Amino acid sequence: MRIIFLFQMAITAALTVLLTLIQVACGQLEDVIIDRYFIPTHCSREVQVGDYVRYQYNGTFKDGRKFDSSLDKDFPFVGQVGVESKVIPGLDKGVQGMCVNERRKITIPPHLAYGVLGAGLVIPPDATLVFDVLLLDLWNKEDKVQIRILHKQQNCKRTVMPSDFVRYHYNGSLLVGNLFDSSNLRNSTYDTYVGQGSLIKGMDEGLLGMCVGERRSIIIPPFLAYDDKGYGTKVPPYATLIFDVLLVDVFNVKDDVKVEVQKIPQPCRRRTVVGDFIRYHYNGSFQDGTVFDSSYSRNSTYNTFIGMGYVIAGIDKALQGVCVGEWRRVTVPPHLAYGENGSGELIPGSAVLIFDLHIIDFHNPKDQVDIKVIYKPAECNLISAANDLIMYRYNCSLLDGTRLYSSDDYPEPPRVTLGQGKLIAGLDEGLQGMCVLERREITVPPHLAHGTNGASGVPSNAVLLFELELLQLQKGVPEGFLFIWLQDSPEPLFPAMDMNQDQEVPLEEFSAFIKLQVAEGRGRLHPGIDSDVILGDMFKKQDRNADGKITEDELNINVNEDNEVPKHEEL
């Protein structure tokens, strides 16, 4: 009997609802009254039949007494609108057309609520119900990830692909605008692989095709986000998520160093190899353009050996095969830079680095002076050598063309005796073997120039380029000598020196004799020293008793002490 009774009640209720709907359609009964007392400024979408909604509500009678509230349950209502609905017809109808963040007061007459039956002890029969509703979320099972590009770089050389590793900043919010998470607040990018299950499905999809520097708004429906589980206390179940994303970095673990040659000088006489020592300027930046380091700011080149592990692997590789004066842009993936750990506070983990390089010079520790003859006169009877006194013109510069110093900066060209340690070793070597009026271009490696310490105006470890012209040449004498015989000296020597045959040779006669030998090409005085000073020193050495004249006995004593004297007159 009970089953038959319940069945009859069900039939009666169904007929009542059907009759009510007919009456409403015919205008015989009251309809739902909707008061849209707050409408958001922006409404991109309204609730339609078949959509899923999530909303908070307060349910009261017309006199204001509350009978139900989602706020008291601390969980909003979630359901589908108009399809096998879990709510009374009036409320189902009342939420249609709502926008997220909209507030409505929905007054529902009894026939669209619980009718003549009421609902247990809570809702009496024929009760008019009032629902105050705030729509929190809205989606449909047919929804897809929505992508809105807010900003995109004009020059986009690479986009995110599956299996790439990305670094990005984001703000994550709910549809109502509540911020639930932000990498910006932590001042740290979110770093992860794309398409390998590390992210929610919607974010995996939303990041594809992004360029570094691009900003996107990615709207993810609940079933492509955290669905019915939510995430912690900040992302409720069934929440549509909005991520505002800025892509900072992208690379793939299979990436190699990328080198873009921007400028290469012609001709390029030599390219770097492993073991060379190089000086270069650089700007170091991230893919978003932020500069993290620069040699220019220190006004000093970076100096290092190539291929020996003194710099990160990517730069070690990129420095091979460069020319002096070349400009390169080098993109270095993290696994060839500072890896997952980064470098202090300067370089974050997993950062792609971009270096703009300008090669200043390079050399090898085994390099010698490189001599290029620019001009050589047809007649060349004398060539410069160690101990010669020369006068020469020069211009000195770095290999990148930076002028350092020049003989033209002084009133007259310099004079110097070669082989006496007065010049840097490479310049001394480059000036030897020249003819008068010959012009040369010599390249001097730093270990034959100013070395690791540099000099005034000369950077450390700098390769120097000299333009040389030999203007004058006076053949010299060996180190330690003031005079040498170029032919055999007279035998016997004293009678030839005693030009007036008075058996004694004063300073004047000694000087006249030596000058005669020089004039006739039989001997040579030390160049660069006043001849009278040299002759005075030579005379004093022969005048053993310091009586102002040299006798044959004094000359013979000196000859016996040193067979080279006076054939090679010592200091």
- Residue of 31, 33, 68, 181 marked catalytic: 68
- Dihedral sign (CA 521, 524, 528, 532): negative
| The one-letter amino acid at 385 | A
Active-site option among 114, 305, 355, 362: 114
Identify the three-state secondary structure at position 308: coil
For residues 507 and 548, is the Cβ–Cβ distance under 8 A?
yes
Selection from 434, 334, 445, 347 nearest residue 394 by Cα: 434
Which residue matches tokens 């020196």?
497
**Catalytic-role residue among 51, 52, 88, 510:** 88
Helices (H), 35-162: 70-73, 89-94
Q: Which of 52, 55, 57, 481 is catalytic?
A: 57
Give the C-alpha separation, 199 to 243, whole Å: 13
Sign of the Cα torsion 479, 480, 482, 488 reads: negative
User: Helix (H, G, I), strand (E, B), or coil: what is residue 285?
Assistant: strand
Cα(202)–Cα(200) distance, integer angstroms: 6
Q: How far is CA 296 from CA 41, 293, 401, in A?
A: 51, 9, 17
* CA-closest candidate to residue 77, choices 151, 118, 131, 38: 131
Contacts of 371 (CB under 8 A, 6+ apart): 430, 440, 441, 442
d(CA 165, CA 456): 49
Burial of 410 (0-12, 13-18, 19+ CB in 10 A): exposed
SS3 230: coil
Selected catalytic residue, list 67, 180, 190, 231? 67
The string over 481-504, giving b where at least 16 C-beta atoms fall within 10 Å of a residue's C-beta and e elsewhere, is: bbbbbeeeeeeebbeebbeeeeee
| Residues 203 and 220 sit within 8 Å (Cβ to Cβ) | yes
- Cα(446)–Cα(182) distance, integer angstroms: 53
Say whether 68 is catalytic: yes
456-to-336, 384, 459 alpha-carbon distances in Å? 38, 28, 8
Maximum pairwise Cα distance, the chain = 173
Selected catalytic residue, list 34, 52, 108, 131 = 131
Query: Do 59 and 129 meet the contact criterion of CB atoms below 8 Å apart?
Result: yes
CA distances 117 to 16, 22, 38, 123, 124, Å, are 10, 19, 33, 9, 7
Q: Is 67 a catalytic residue?
A: yes
Q: Which residue has the tokens 């700007």?
A: 283
Which DSSP letter does residue 44 get? S
In the chain, the N- to C-terminal Cα span, in Å, equals 146
Measured distance CA(446)–CA(451) in Å, rounded = 5
- Active-site amino acid positions: 57, 67-68, 88, 114, 131
